[in-house]
Amino acid sequence: MNIVSYHTLADQVLFDLVKSEDEAAFKEIYERYFDVLYIHAYKRLQNKEEAQDVIQEVFAALWDKREHISLTSSLPAYLFTAVRNRILNNLAHRKYELSYLQSLQQFINQGVCQTDHLVRENQLQTLIEKEIAALPPKMQEVFSLSRNAHLSHKEIAAELNLSEQTVKKQVNNALRILRTKLGLLIFLYFLFNKNF
């Protein structure tokens, strides 16, 4: 009985043995090409773990698909092509992942800024509405028609059966009270912001 020395066998013979599920032949191919494939992968990826993963994946696929693989060129050419394709997939995935992370970070940054702005705006609106609600009822009604319904003094006077002078005085008094209670900056924001 002859004992086969796998390290003396040609690549094609080893691959034919692998196709017939010879694990020792597979081990020989692995040991023969692992280092050179790893160096090739590491040069492209610049990451030891990723390079090792690529080589492991190539050899795992070689074993899993051994029955369906037909070498059209040499075994080293097949292995280098498989490694190159996996590297390209990894680089594309890395680029996609980086793009996704940048997009996510941009969304988070914009979302936080918008959310913070909306929270402050809502707080300010609540404060202004609270002060408007504290105005005397008739003054509040006149002011609301002026600022919320956007009616002119003449239109408000006609609707409430008041003189234009009374409407003007009520609006001016409301503005003075709000300016005093809210402070100048908030008051100006309120005065020029169309949302209020």
> Which residue ranges form the domains of the chain, and what is each CATH number?
6-99 (1.10.1740.10), 134-192 (1.10.10)
- In contact, 157 and 167? CB cutoff 8 Å: yes
Give the pLDDT of residue 70.
84
Q: What is the pLDDT of residues 168-181, one digit of tens each?
A: 998 888 888 877 77
Q: How confident is the model at residue 195 (pLDDT cuts 50, 70, 90)?
A: very low
Q: What is the pLDDT of residues 41-79, one digit of tens each?
A: 999 888 899 999 999 999 999 999 988 888 888 999 999
Residue 14 has pLDDT above 80, yes or no: yes
Contacts of 28 (CB under 8 A, 6+ apart): 6, 7, 9, 14
The one-letter amino acid at 181: K
Between these two residues, 38 and 112, which has the higher pLDDT value?
38
The whole model's pTM is what? 0.49
pLDDT above 90 coverage of the chain, percent: 33
Q: What is the pLDDT of residues 84-133, one digit of tens each?
A: 999 888 887 777 667 766 776 776 666 555 666 667 777 777 777 888 88
